[in-house]
Structure 1
Amino acid sequence: MDIIYRLKTLRLVPVVALPTVESGLRLAELLLDCRLAVMEVTYRTECAGEALEQICSRFPELVVIAGTVVSPEQADQAVSAGVEGIVSPGFTARLATHCQARSIAFFPGVCTPSEVQAAREEGLQNLKFFPAAQFGGIKMIELFGALYPDVLLMPTGGINQDNLVDYLNCANVLCCGGTWLSPQKMLAKGDWGEIEQRIKRAVDLLDRQA
């Protein structure tokens, strides 16, 4: 199934910085149990590469995305692990070309019209709007929609339980990325009860908006 269709259907992507591989495996299982079958594992911790490989291998039904990818080498590692998509905090033509050559969905980070246009010139129409809250939030998303009606955005940064629906109601939003579901400190502490409750509250909110 096409990753764009799946992300549009799922609407929310948990973005995680894993302290250990084991925490990633447990979180993957929990997300599937809670019917949120997607995870973006960021290259912000040393175990990210191994975690991606094991999660992709053990949970083929999960949409696994590599996040905070800033080099072709990281992209190659993620593709070899089996991810379905690659997210970068920024845009460079070099990384875009590299990912396209590997036939992997690539979502570069943008926050200005110039960056959106540069990405479009490389044939990219599904972009990460990051950091969303710091660069105008919903008002900026609406402006991008007026300027570039062919572009869909994945806003990340400042998204939470309280404003998620407002972002999802924007016609040019593909899905939202969120770190509030399983913050790194909470994962490190093993606060799985609170993490589960946060995921369930988010899924319930999505169900009520369906």
Structure 2
Amino acid sequence: MADMHETIRNIGIVPVIKIDSPEQALPLGKALLAGGLPVAEITFRTAAGEEGIRILSSQLPQLLVGAGTITSVEAARRAIDAGAKFIVSPGYSDDVVEYCIQRNVTIYPGVNNPSEIQSAMRRGLSVLKFFPAEASGGVDMLDALSGPFPTLRFMPTGGIGMHNLASYIRKPYIVACGGSWMVKSDLINEGRWDEITRLSREAVAAVHGFSFAHIGINPSDTEEASNITMALGVFLQPVTEGTTSFFASESIEIMKQPFLGTHGHIGIRTWDIERALEYLRTFGVEADEATGRRDAKGRLTVIYLKDEVGGFALHLLRAK
């Protein structure tokens, strides 16, 4: 189960899908993969869900397929037999949880209060669906729950979209967010697969929250670095000094000694460096592990990538 949690965490979004016809499953799965989302939660809200899971599991092995809206042991059995690799339920059902544990299939039962959380913890579950997320208090409620339950992590679903995704995904207790905004029923029924791919790409980008942090300059020595800083300080404030560099505002870093990058470096912020690195590996981009720095919780706060771009080294910064 831990491997499943990590796989889903590295993706960051779980599309929650309702299909009306099994024939929609394959082109939908291909559209998600093209958009960088290798996961699909096919709900049992329609009769087509079970067969859709079977089709996707057999024909798109690179797609992680789960079943959603599972409310009974019988539904869980059918979903797992069809090929579902994980189960999601809207509420907590001890029978369904027990059955999935017996079948060695990861389950994410829905909870939204301490009593349900404690029931899940008694079964040894450590990652839970928070549903309906927005109607149950959203991020504020999750912040409150993370106090008495610091070891738990959540997959919030319900009312999440591009407008509020960042407020959830940046939280350390969030494994991933579930949502349907990139797989709306009208898009599926109209066969608008290119639009689903576009929205999926947009969602993936939002999960990582990539943004420009600063550009770094490599002077020849500390004296030159100081001179550059004073010159830039005429335009850019505040000027600050650290152990290894100066900053002119937050946008330009002047290294005291030559550092990585032929011309310098570019810093890029992201919500979660570990998740971002998994994403970048799909493009063949690798990190220089020797440059990584971690906080007290063991999370990467800074790391450089191996290859330069235009003579600049690139490094990721954990956004605050």
If the TM-score is normalised by the length of the shorter chain, which range does it land in? over 0.9
Equivalent residue of 1:41, what SS?
A: strand
- Say yes or no: does 1:78 pair with 2:84: no
Unaligned runs of at least 5 residues, structure 2? 211-269, 271-275, 277-320
2:167 is the counterpart of 1:166: yes
Q: Is the 8 A contact 2:22 2:48 kept in 1?
A: yes
How far is 1:206 from its partner?
Answer: 2.9
Does residue 100 (structure 1) correspond to residue 101 (structure 2)? The answer is yes
- Once the two structures are superposed, what CA deviation does each residue of 1:80-102 show, in whole Å capped at 9, x if it has no partner? 12221000000011111111111
Q: Matched residues in 1 for 2:89 and 2:103: separation?
A: 15
2:38 aligns with 37
SS in 2 for 1:100: helix
Structure 2: distance between partners of 1:202 and 1:133: 18
Separation of aligned partners in 2, 1:199 and 1:35: 7
Deviations 1:76-124 (A, max 9, x none): 1111122210000000111111111111001000011111111111211
CA distance in 2, matches of 1:87, 1:206: 21
Distance (whole Å) between structure 2 residues aligned to residue 191 and residue 59 of structure 1: 19
Q: Are 2:126 and 2:151, in contact at CA under 8 Å, matched by a contact in 1?
A: yes
Paired residues, number: 210
Give the secondary-structure state (helix, strand or coil) at the position aligned to 1:69. coil
In structure 2, what is the equivalent of residue 49 of structure 1? 50
Native 8 Å contact 2:31 2:193 kept in 1? no
Q: CA deviation at 1:58?
A: 0.5
* Greater length-normalized contact order (CA 8 Å, ≥ 6 residues apart): 1
1:180 aligns with 2:154: no
* Aligned amino acid, residue 201 of structure 1: E
Between Structure 1 and Structure 2, the one with more helix by share is: 1
What SS is found at the alignment partner of 2:80? helix
Instruction: Report the Cα offset of residue 165 of structure 1.
Output: 1.4
Cα contact 1:91–1:109 (8 A) shared by 2: yes
Structure of larger gyration radius? 2
| Amino acid across the alignment from 2:50 | G
- Regions of 4+ moved over 4 Å: none
TM value normalised by structure 1: 0.96
Q: Distance in 2 between matches of 1:101 and 1:147?
A: 29
Query: What is the Cα deviation at residue 192 of structure 1?
Result: 2.6
**Structure 2 partner of 1:116:** 117
Q: 3-state DSSP class of the match of 2:135? A: helix
Q: How many angstroms does 1:197 deviate by?
A: 2.0
One-letter amino acid matched to 1:94: D
Could you tell me the TM-score, scaled by structure 2's length? 0.64
Q: Hey, what's the Cα distance between the residues in 1 that align with 2:43 and 2:77?
A: 14
Instruction: Indicate the structure with greater strand content.
Output: 2
- Structure 1: any 5+ residue segments left out of the alignment? none
Identity of aligned residues (%): 36
Cα distance between partner residues in 2 of 1:73 and 1:36? 29
Q: Partners in 2 of 1:204 and 1:151 — Cα distance? A: 26
- Distance in structure 2 (CA, Å) of the matches to 1:43 and 1:143: 31
- The answer for the alignment partner of 2:6 in structure 1 is 5
Q: Distance in 2 between matches of 1:182 and 1:35?
A: 14
1:184 shift after superposition: 1.4
